[in-house]
Chain A
Amino acid sequence: MSVDVTARPAALDDSARHPVTPRQRPSAGAVARRVWASAWPKLLAVGLVIGLWQLVYLSGWRPEYVLPAPGTVFVALADMVTTERFWQAVATTLQRAVLGYGAALLIGTALGVAVSRIKPLRMAVGSLITGMQTMPSIAWFPFAILLFGISEQAITFVVILGAAPSIANGIIAGIDHVPPQLVRAGRMMGATGFTLYRLVILPAALPSYVAGLNQGWAFAWRSLMAGELLVLIIGASSLGANLEFARQLSQADRMLATMIVILVVGMIADGIFSAISRRLRRSRGLAIDD
């Protein structure tokens, strides 16, 4: 028998109804058009904000040493990024972020899997984890400073407390919402226990887990900035510390330039998570296409 299925009429196998993204590489022009199409609204928004800022500056509402013009700030930013001190500060901050977030990732994931598997544990701490998410992490700092002193540990402690509950919640929600028929199908094929988790439940929970990771990152970044403002460790320059020093020295331009850096770092990380999440959802046919 050699019937060509691909040649079947559309009424029988309506694969045409679900167009598949073409696999061939798009041309450079097409790429440029796509980048431009997604970039211009953002550029316009940035332009509007800068324009508004310039207007407020020109109105003379606040003196220049408090609210400098955008141009002054961008010059300060350009100067700043050429100094070694700045990159040291960035390195310190990112190192703390990676350490704290990495620890939160391990703890949150382990906690999430444990809570979703063990019923008494869920009853005991399930709502507590959700509650923890609503607690502003900055409120932990006085306690963290008492426990660990003015130290790296105090900052890491609060970053973990900020991020881990979101990560745990993401995986718990993901596991809770695995379609039961997929679990049934897995069981019928002979998957049990850990194998069922590895082959069915965890992959099915992945999109929700990634959403939790994204939210966890946002909380980690906020906690870290709060920590760097509050816990000033002598000799360690960081983005948060630079912000505080610039304020104390009345260097408004440097302060705003640092704020821009903090915003950009946060946005880059968020962009990475969003891209992973979009890819995951698209590959499963869940994405609302652009």
Chain B
Amino acid sequence: MTAVLEAAAPRALPGGAAVRLTGVTKVFASGPRQVTALESVDLTVHPGEFLTVVGASGCGKSTMLNVIAGLERPTAGRVEVAGRVAFMFQDATLFPWLTARQNVEVALRLRGLPRRLRRARAEELLDVVRLGPAQDKRPHELSGGMRQRVALARVLAQDASVVLMDEPLGALDAMTRDHMHGELERVWSELGLTVLFVTHNMREAVRLGDRVVLMASSPGRVKLEQAVDLPRPRVIDSAEVAMLAGSLTDELRAEVAAHVR
């Protein structure tokens, strides 16, 4: 494959991290209805790392991504990110009035790429996610998996060094999701991206992550960090993935039980 995106050395903060959260706390509202979504979260994502974050719903996973993306301001603590951040959502959030290629072109335009270069560049990026043949289709003409490929191409178009993914494959069927895991892994390793991937699917987290972070809820905080030393490519149904996912799920189960009254 031709190097469409030169796999540049991932950008890093002084001290070697791509993303660093120090004592990040996020409190919504105030008074008796106050909710602590995040409580002094410390987290470091290394350059080029694929970090997966798992937790029960409402544990502050999405809030954490929003804080890193700058969509929300932390109540306390420090957020540091090396380079630009791009966001991939559960819903592909493509613009329905544009074709796949035009959706990618919008991102290129907002990055300041001159008009005459946009089309060719968008085509290259759609080739990276293997969607070239469908570039002139509109989002509603694409399947869920293809829409997420376009979303991925759009993320790549933003030339970000850190990619935040909020359950991007959550709405896909198991077969498509399995296939997209491989695609995501391929693009990540070819381009040397730093990925922070949130999911509630433990096996998915183990399948993809260099490291899995478990989050505890109310208030949201980091409960456990687990390195995944299994060789890639991994198979989601393999015994190794299942075993590690099982033991992590036990940790999470104890956590959830403690909070469900």
By a beta-carbon cutoff of 8 Å, the part of chain A in contact with chain B is 1, 3, 5-6, 11-15, 17-18, 20, 181-182, 184-185, 187-191, 195, 199-200, 203-204, 206, 280, 283-286
Partner of A188, one of B69, B91, B131, B140: B69
- Specify which of B131, B140, B175 lies most central, judged by the most chain A CB atoms within 10 Å of its CB: B140
Given contacts A187-B71, A189-B110, contact A15 B142 (CB under 8 A): yes
A-B complex: 5 closest residue pairs judged by Cβ atoms: A285-B140, A185-B93, A284-B96, A188-B87, A5-B130
Q: Is the CB of A188 within 8 A of B71?
A: yes
Q: Are B87 and A12 in contact (CB under 8 A)?
A: no
Contact of A14 among B89, B111, B138, B143 (CB under 8 A): B143
Nearest chain A CB to B95's CB is how many angstroms away? 7
Q: How far apart sit A280 and B138, CA to CA, in the bound complex (Å)?
A: 12
Q: Would you list 21 pairs from A and B whose C-beta atoms are within 8 A, ordered by A residue? A: A5-B131, A12-B145, A12-B176, A12-B179, A13-B145, A15-B143, A18-B141, A181-B89, A184-B89, A184-B93, A188-B85, A189-B106, A189-B107, A190-B110, A199-B110, A200-B95, A283-B138, A284-B96, A284-B97, A284-B140, A285-B138
Given A3-B130, A15-B134, A182-B93, 15 other A-B residues pairs in contact with their CB atoms under 8 A: A5-B131, A5-B132, A11-B175, A12-B175, A13-B143, A13-B146, A181-B89, A182-B95, A189-B86, A199-B106, A280-B97, A284-B140, A285-B138, A285-B141, A286-B140
**Which of the listed residues A17, A199, A206 has the most CB atoms from chain B within 10 Å of its own CB?**
A199
Interface residues on B, range: 35 or more
* B-side contacts of A283, CB under 8 Å: 97, 138
Give min CB distance, B246 to chain A, whole Å. Answer: 27
Could you say which residues of chain B place their CB within 8 Å of the CB of A14? 143, 145, 176
Contact A20 B137 (CB under 8 A): yes
Give, as a whole number of angstroms, the nearest-CB distance from B1 to chain A: 5
Closest chain B residue, CB of each to CB of A11: B175
Which of A17, A181, A189 interacts with B91 by CB under 8 Å? A181
* Contact yes or no, B143 A18, CB < 8 A: yes
- What distance in Å separates the Cβ of B249 from its nearest Cβ neighbour in chain A? 27
CA distance A204 to B175 in the complex (A): 32
Cβ of B31 within 8 Å of any chain A Cβ, yes or no, is no
- CB of B1 within 8 A of CB of A188, answer no
Write the nearest CB–CB distance from A164 to chain B, whole angstroms.
26
Considering the chains assembled together, what is the distance between the CA atoms of A195 and B109 in angstroms? 11
**Which A residues are in CB contact (< 8 Å) with B131?**
5
Across the interface, which residues of B come within 8 angstroms of A1, CB to CB? 1
Chain A positions within 8 Å of B87 at CB level: 184-185, 188
Whether A285 lies near B143 (C-beta < 8 A) is no
- Closest CB-CB distance, B48 to chain A, in whole Å? 21
A206: chain B residues within 8 A (beta carbon): 97
A194 to chain B, nearest CB (A): 13
Give the residue name and chain of the A residue nearest to B1 (CB). A1
Tell me which of B132, B158, B179 contacts A189 (CB under 8 A).
B158
Complex Cα spacing A6 to B135, Å: 12
B114 proximal to A (CB < 8 A): no
- Decide if B47 is an interface residue (CB 8 Å cutoff): no
- What residue of chain A has the Cβ atom nearest to residue B143's Cβ? A14
B133 touching A5 by the CB < 8 A rule? Answer: yes
| B139 at interface by CB-CB < 8 Å | yes
Contact between chains at A285 and B139 (CB < 8 Å): yes
Question: CA–CA, A182 to B134, complex, Å?
Answer: 22
Min CB distance, B170 to chain A, in Å?
14
Give the complex CA separation of A262 and B39 in angstroms.
69
Instruction: Give Cα A187 to B71, complex, Å.
Output: 9
CB distance from A17 to the nearest CB of B (A): 6
Once the chains are docked, how many angstroms separate the CA of A200 from the CA of B93?
11
- By beta carbon, the residue of chain B nearest A182 is B93
Q: Mark B121-162, 1 if CB is under 8 A from A, else 0.
A: 000000000111110011111110110000000100010000
Query: Which among B69, B71, B95, B131 has the greatest number of chain A C-beta atoms within 10 A?
Result: B95
Determine the distance from Cα of A249 to Cα of B69 in the docked complex, in whole angstroms.
75
Complex: A3 Cα to B218 Cα, angstroms? 46
Residues of B within 8 A of A3 (CB): 130
Closest to A8 in B: B179
Report the minimal beta-carbon distance from A108 to chain B, rounded to whole angstroms.
22
Contacts of A182 in B (CB 8 A): 93, 95
Instruction: Known A15-B146, A188-B86; judge A20-B106 contact (CB<8 A).
Output: no
